[in-house]
Amino acid sequence: MDARRAGGVSILRAHPSFDAPFIPNPEIPAMTAPTTQDILVHTEAGVTTITFNRVDKKNSITTTMYAAMADALVAAEADAAVRVVVFQGDVAIFSAGNDIGDFLQQPPATQDSPVFRFLHGIAAFPKPVIASVCGPAVGIGTTMLFHCDLVYAGDNAAFSMPFVNLGLCPEAASSLLVPQMMGYHRAAEALLLGEPFMAEAALEVGLVNRVVPPTECNGIAQAQAKKLAAKPLSALIETKRLMKKGQIQPVLERMAEEGASFGRMLREPAAREAFSAFMEKRKPDFSKV
């Protein structure tokens, strides 16, 4: 995606934190992951915007991209000038979830792996997080939204959590948060059948705040971010902390439990068949697994 479509004059930085020259902050742990142009990080007027920029692969997320997003969150948290984080994708695709090939080659091995660093970072992020979602939001493209404070969706947004169809189980604490938000039966439909649901249905269950024309979505998210950035940071942080009080620990525990099952299931025949079928562009055959 062209940087202009990311909703501003995007600046790619040598390090995913802020203005050149980069002066290391001794309080931020050193990050060794390489940066990537597949994630754009742009900070302006108190708002850090993180853009999925891998449209040719439907913004599927590689290990390197998880690392870049995790680093951007660490930096945004540490920078007192940043008050809000916005995640956005392209007008036609938010994210196809994990990059399946990359995931098979380097499955997350420990809780320090980039995907878990990203998930822990977004789940415990103390400042407001906004998402602008247009087009498909698959897997973690949907489950990450349960950790955002405000979600704006284009009327073309299609949310799906097809973990069962991939021989896997939920991640990102979605097995906890989806039933909490949607009620058990709607959660079962979303997580057991794994069928997509559209923006209006997401609005009805409370996953999104507003459904808007796709071409306006990133702009509306930025306008809301600007409003938040004009408010006192301490009040934003304290209000979010109080609203989330008691939730972070169960969320992190559920993420760890899901992660252990997910890692085991990745190596089992059902997931292998599902991923092979995706790579070979055919329907999976689960009759023997």
Residue ranges that bind ligand COA, judged by CB under 6 A: 57-58, 60, 96-101, 136, 138-139, 162, 166
CA–CA gap between residue 281 and residue 242 (Å, rounded)? 47
Strand partners, 86: 49, 130
Nearer to ligand COA, 99 or 149 (CB): 99
48 versus 174: smaller Cβ distance to ligand COA: 174
Cβ at position 159, least distance to ligand COA in Å: 12
| Nearer to ligand COA among residue 75 and residue 91 (C-beta) | 91
Q: Half-sphere exposure of residue 204, counting CA atoms within 13 Å on the CB side?
A: 7
Q: Which is nearer to ligand COA, 36 or 60 (CB)?
A: 60
And the tokens for 154? 């284009």
Q: How far apart are CA 205 and CA 187, in angstroms?
A: 10
Rounded Cα distance, 143 and 127, in Å: 19
* Residues facing residue 136 across a β-bridge: 158
Residue whose CB is less far from ligand COA, 8 or 141: 141
CB of 140 vs ligand COA, minimal distance in Å: 7
Tell the residue number behind the tokens 């079928």, with chain if given: 277
Exposure string for 166-204, b = 16+ CB within 10 A, e = fewer: bbbbbbbbbbbbbbeebeeebbeebbeebebbebebbbe
Task: Confirm if 75 and 106 have CB atoms less than 8 A apart.
Answer: no
Retrieve residue 282's tokens: 């055919």
What angle is formed at CA 87 by the lines to CA 84 and CA 221, rounded to 5 degrees?
70
> Nearer to ligand COA by C-beta: 189 or 238?
189
The least CB distance from residue 285 to ligand COA, in Å, is 16
Quick one: 18 or 103, whose CB is closer to ligand COA? 103
According to DSSP, the residues that pair with 249 across neighbouring strands are: none
Shortest distance in whole angstroms from residue 139 CB to ligand COA? 3
Q: Calculate the CA dihedral of residues 35, 262, 206, 121 and round it to 10 degrees.
A: -40
Amino acid at residue number 79: D
Q: Which is nearer to ligand COA, 58 or 83 (CB)?
A: 58
Shortest distance in whole angstroms from residue 264 CB to ligand COA: 15
In the chain, which residue ranges form alpha helices assigned H by DSSP? 63-78, 100-105, 114-123, 140-143, 174-182, 184-188, 199-205, 214-229, 233-244, 248-266, 269-279
**From the CB of 258, what's the least distance to ligand COA, in Å?**
12
Q: In the bound complex, what is the minimum distance in angstroms from residue 134's beta carbon to ligand COA?
A: 12
* Shortest distance (Å) from residue 1 CB to ligand COA: 14
